[in-house]
Amino acid sequence: MNNLVTCLAVEHSHSAIAAALFVSLIGGALTISLTTRVRQAPRSQSWLWLLLAGLVGGMTAWCTHFIAMLGYDVGLPHNYDPLLTFLSLGSVIVTTTVGIFIIGNAGRSLLVEAGGAVVSLGVVLMHFIGMSGYDVPGYLVWSTPYIIACLISGMVFGMLAFSTLVRMRFRYHGLAAALLLTVSIVCVHFVSIAGLTFVPDGSIILPNSGLQTQTMVFFTIQGSGMVVVLGLSLLLLDIKNRENVRSEVRRASVHDALTGLPNRTAMGEELARLISEKGAGGIQFALAFLDVRGFKGLNDVRGHAAGDFVLSSVAARLRGSLPAGVFAARTGNDEFAILIPDLQHRGDVQRLLRRVIQEVARPASWSGQQFVVRLDAGIAVFPDDGQVSDELVARADAALLRAKRTRDVTFYDAGVDHGERRLNALALDLRRAFEDGEFQLYYQQQHLTGDRSIFGFEVLLRWFHRDYGFIPPDEFIPLAERTGFIHVLGEWVLRQAAADAVTWKNPFQVGVNVAPEQLADPNLAQIVGAVLKETGLPPERLELEITESGIVDDFHRALASIEAVKALGVKVAMDDFGTGYSSLTTLQQFPFDKIKIDRSFVAGLPHDELSAAICRSTVIISKSLGIRVLAEGVETEEQLAFLQREGCPRAQGYYFGRPKPRSEIEDLVNG
Ligand code: C2E
Ligand code: CA
Ligand code: CA
């Protein structure tokens, strides 16, 4: 220990120690960084990094050693044998390269430490080769314990250095590895030199061919300079290169590959930026979502290539028609977003979007096909409609949903669109509600106007929602149609109603409403047939109520369904007569058994002349076509008297009774 202190404090010049430390620190750090590159770079590049790491690492150890030797005062004349001196340099470059090669391919195995051991053993080897070229008029006497200590400390720190680099994950683990490597290099030199004694021997003559101190100073400065410059410049290049790659990756990650427009991520960032920028000044801006009308159908029918063409052409036209400063992005499959900053008037936004939509709708041709692309647009305005991103996005979405119906550029409207959101929530809740038994059948009696006796009941579905309470069928039936759940629901209504009706003592008729979606189902007749068979309800007691909209949607399929149902012996009624746009034509073309005059006409009776005329003529038509007729929505004695007078034999409405649950019609059906 004494020797080590003397060796450092007395025998070595302090400036040499400082210089040696400086070089080994810089070189150690570079070697560690380069080793990381060897491990991370793709195979094609890693060997280049390996050569560099070996060169820099080896040079570092060699320069450290010789700078220290230059500052070492032996008190005797000395020079350096050129062959051994350069052999020591060559050997350490080779061993360091081999060691780092092992580490580079070690993964996380113990080979990492093995590689570290090779690197430090190489340094030890270099040290002794170098020292054997250190010529003095005398002998060098080494102390074995110091040599062992030199070997152990060099290896332990060397192994620890690379182990830390690979296995540790704390913030400055790279720096710690570099320090450990430096300690390893420095230990090898100073620990072994501390145990070194020179025994002068006058008979030994210093060879003339030896390198003089000045030459060695030159070499070590050259070498150190090279280590620093080479390593640093390559690392800087690499860092720059990585930055480029990173920005390229970033560019790709915020751009949509098909259209080249910014993507949803970029839109989110731009929106956040605008909010923080405009928020402070209280300036308005608009977020618009645009959606290609019927895109899914187009994609399915004309193919994905056509779909891609349409999206690219929309993007190009958006880009071409939007003023500078307006941000456009593709945020979803066929969804685009536009951010319009510095908004003065809502009218301006509307005009701008209408113009853009018109531009996009110009016919475009692609591989012999013509495309006319229509966009729907929904807008939310900051800060009125929302002050945070999520809110604005949700509201622009809600506005877009409505725009698809209104077919015009649509602003978010809290009153309307909030309701829309509730509807969406309900649509998603249908199946759960059904399974939880929240649906129930109600029955409304139907009477003959003559003796006012009951001849049948209409089945009306009710939804008692656990949170929202009663939800009117006019609200949830369209939702069930939209989601397709109507098929489950409709079949259940039919089965329940039939099962119920067979238990009645009085064989009243049961009217069941059939939604347009159900009518379009080619299996409708099969389902009805199965239900009749299961429940044992005579077919003539069942009447299906169909609205005109169900027929208009798909004329041929509707006709086929109706005929198949009628073939079972089931009756078919035309519901809401008079509200469709060609009720008379429909009546002619379809084999209906009954007409139900819509309640809106009955409501005007007897004073409103038009209502009276419609009711009167409907009765006449039904008689001439031989079809039964019923008036819906009869609420007063006056209305009933009018209908009776005009020869309408059947009626239904609050006047006779409101729709009631099964339990409340017990007396009527069994009495
Ligand atoms: P709808 O088929 O025209 O049913 C008659 C509607 O008029 C019922 O409304 C009934 O409660 C109401 N109503 C009856 N008498 C009067 C009256 O005197 N005055 C007034 N103002 N209204 C009267 P509800 O139950 O709200 O049903 C609305 C619509 O929902 C039905 O119109 C029907 O189209 C549909 N719907 C109801 N249940 C079902 C069902 O099970 N399946 C299908 N597909 N649709 C159903
Ligand atoms: Ca009905
Ligand atoms: Ca009706």
The per-residue pLDDT for range 319-331, each reduced to its tens digit, is 999 998 899 999 8
- Of 290-294, 339-343, 562-566, the range with the highest mean pLDDT is 562-566
Residue 408 confidence (pLDDT) above 90: no
Contact (Cβ atoms closer than 8 angstroms) between residue 70 and residue 220: yes
What is the average pLDDT across 465-480? 89
The model's confidence at residue 302, banded by pLDDT at 50, 70 and 90, is confident
User: Does the C-beta of 599 come closer than 6 Å to ligand 1?
Assistant: yes
Between 561 and 279, where is the model more confident?
Answer: 561
Residue range(s) occupied by CATH 3.20.20.450 in the chain: 434-670
Enclosing H/E stretch for 191: helix 173-194
What is the average pLDDT across 606-617? 91
What residues contact 55, with CB distance under 8 A and at least 6 apart? Answer: 93, 97, 230
User: Does the C-beta of 578 come closer than 6 Å to ligand 1?
Assistant: no
* Atom of ligand 1 lying closest to residue 490 CA: 42
Take residue 328 and report the two structure tokens written for it.
Answer: 């456009």
Substitution candidate for ligand 1 out of 461, 476, 486, 513 with most atoms within 8 A of CB: 513
Between 194 and 640, where is the model more confident?
Answer: 640
Report pLDDT for 264: 87
Compute the distance from residue 613 Cα to the ligand 2 centre, in Å. Answer: 22
CA distance linking residue 104 with residue 38, whole number of Å: 6
DSSP 8-state symbol, 513:
E
Residue range(s) occupied by CATH 3.30.70.270 in the chain: 264-414
What are the C-alpha distances in Å from 293 to residues 296, 310, 372, 552, 620? 8, 11, 10, 22, 44
CA distance linking residue 600 with residue 351, whole number of Å: 39
Between 131 and 582, where is the model more confident?
Answer: 131
Residue 215 confidence (pLDDT) above 80: yes
Report pLDDT for 4: 63
Compute the distance from residue 477 Cα to the ligand 1 centre, in Å. Answer: 11
Share of the chain above pLDDT 70, in %: 98
Share of the chain above pLDDT 90, in %: 56
User: Does the C-beta of 444 come closer than 6 Å to ligand 1?
Assistant: yes
What is the average pLDDT across 526-552? 92
Report pLDDT for 581: 61
Between 338 and 219, where is the model more confident?
Answer: 338
Report pLDDT for 370: 83
Residue 2 confidence (pLDDT) above 60: no
**Among 91, 149, 100, 98, CA closest to 123:** 91
Catalytic residue among 543, 632, 635, 646: 632
Specify the fold of 264-414.
Answer: Alpha-Beta Plaits (3.30.70)
pTM over 0.95: no
632 is catalytic: yes
Compute the distance from residue 360 Cα to the ligand 3 centre, in Å. Answer: 42
User: Does the C-beta of 81 come closer than 6 Å to ligand 1?
Assistant: no
**How much is the mean pLDDT over the chain?**
90
Compute the distance from residue 464 Cα to the ligand 1 centre, in Å. Answer: 16
User: Does the C-beta of 635 come closer than 6 Å to ligand 1?
Assistant: yes
DSSP 8-state symbol, 262:
B
What is the average pLDDT across 110-138? 94
- Of 217-231, 471-485, 556-570, the range with the highest mean pLDDT is 556-570
Residue 505 confidence (pLDDT) above 60: yes
Q: What are phi and psi of 110, to 5 degrees?
A: -70, -10
Residue 367 confidence (pLDDT) above 90: no
What is the average pLDDT across 578-587? 75
The model's confidence at residue 661, banded by pLDDT at 50, 70 and 90, is very high
User: Does the C-beta of 516 come closer than 6 Å to ligand 1?
Assistant: no
Report pLDDT for 7: 61
- Which CATH architecture is the domain 434-670 placed in? Alpha-Beta Barrel (3.20)
Ligand (nearest to CA of 633):
1
Which residue has the least CA distance to atom 46 on ligand 1? 513
Residue 449 confidence (pLDDT) above 70: yes
